[in-house]
Structure 1
């Protein structure tokens, strides 16, 4: 989309139904990489496994959840964000600047839209109201 910064990571979103096995596999493959962190937690009532690590100076985030990728918030956020950037091409530089100031992508879009509250929920609500998703 052209809004990644030097500190952006690469998010890999996956549908995973056997989270314990997934966590073991992730640890086996990437546990020795710099900055490796593995979390098991619940987000919006759904269990997830998330791993972060650095490979060749680039940060990765692997995110597994027992839900189809096309229904996961991370994917839906990208759909909404792409739609908005296509609709408002001049926003790219503004979003980029906000991210450089330290805002997360969803926070930057919410700032541009004047949305308040939890940026992850607010962006989804906005996308649904506008029938983007």
Structure 2
């Protein structure tokens, strides 16, 4: 498995976050949380700031010559979205863009909640999430299962976005 540090080195070497800075690009997902599996990709979410066409053009300019580059414009959860995937130094990368600010992006919110949970839950929670992911669960499903959250895993995690530390600690 590629280490989190090695993945960050790939992002840095290719100046990915610098190239996505005009779109508030944030590294999110399982690799950023260090709960990734060997086949996990690097996930980045961005704000297209009301200009999905401009965002798509910027992605193509910045990464269009990378191996396996693919650009799609399609709704996701009913919202207009732009998605690019490509390889950097043999590692899969996915970049999502939406019109709304990054702080409203559900992938960013999942990341913030999961990062806070890992800060409190430490290696025990990290290990539990990885094991559940190895069984085929998504990152959000794995966190919800590890914490015994009821209902839809994504909705349950999003509901924790604004809760205080004591509420999170009670889940562990």
Query: Under TM normalisation by the shorter chain, which class is it?
Result: 0.7 to 0.9
Relative contact order, CA 8 A, sep 6+: which one is greater? Answer: 1
- The answer to whether the aligner puts 1:85 opposite 2:118 as a matched pair is yes
- SS of the residue corresponding to residue 61 of structure 1 reads strand
Structure-2-length-normalised TM-score: 0.67
Number of equivalent positions:
131
User: 5+ residue gaps in structure 2?
Assistant: 1-32, 166-172
Structure-1-length-normalised TM-score: 0.84
User: 5+ residue gaps in structure 1?
Assistant: none
**Greater helix fraction, Structure 1 or Structure 2:** 2
- SS of the residue corresponding to residue 63 of structure 1 reads strand
**Among residues 65, 68, 71, which one is paired with 2:98 in the alignment?**
65
Counterpart of 1:2? 34
Counterpart of 1:125? 159
Shift of 1:58: 0.9
Distance (whole Å) between structure 2 residues aligned to residue 114 and residue 39 of structure 1: 35
- SS of the residue corresponding to residue 88 of structure 1 reads helix
Shift of 1:127: 3.5
RMSD: 2.0
